[in-house]
Amino acid sequence: MKKADIETLELAGKVYPAVRIRPDLPLLPRVESEDIEKAWVFIEESFWLEFVPQLVADIFGDTLATFSAGDENEWLCIGDLAPVQVWPALMVNKWRSLESRIRIILDDITKPSYFFDTLEALGIEVDRTTGQEVEPEEEGPVRGKGYINPRDLTFRQYMMDRAVKK
């Protein structure tokens, strides 16, 4: 990767290095359900509030400002960095690592299986073939069926480890 390959975004007169993050969402049957909408919101919030800050800190060794930009929040921008034109080769390599690991995380969290696993971890039962929410056989949400709770630190660490290993 060369410095010229790094995408930038100009906002309010300042230029930020940026990664295009808006993936195509998986083609899942869409059902009018507040629970299913909650799962999408949970996945998106996990990405922006947990995965991105941790990944940036791991790569750059510092807590840097991260924010989304664009009409549909399709860009991940990193603040507090020197202009790309003055980056040494080490910084370019760190940026390449960030882009690569972001793509790995996005590939994982946009898979239908991840979506369905998130629903089940949140206690929402869904038929994986139709995407239709099914009524639980018991009263209340069904939990503890061997799925990792997305709020559990080990789950977050699992996703970060996957991004590092690939």
**Tens of pLDDT, residue by residue, the chain (166 residues):** 788 889 988 888 899 999 988 655 555 555 556 777 777 788 888 888 888 999 999 999 877 888 888 877 788 999 888 999 999 999 999 999 999 999 888 888 878 788 788 888 877 777 777 767 777 665 544 444 444 454 454 455 555 555 555 5
Nearest to 136 by CA among 150, 122, 155: 122
- Domain range for 153: 3-165
What is the tally of structural domains in the chain? 1
Give the predicted TM-score (pTM) of the model: 0.70
- Which pLDDT score, from 0 to 100, does residue 153 have? 44
Chain mean position to CA 18: 15
52 sits in which H/E element: helix 52-60
Q: How far is the C-alpha of 44 from the C-alpha of 70, rounded, in Å?
A: 16
3-class secondary-structure state, position 42:
helix
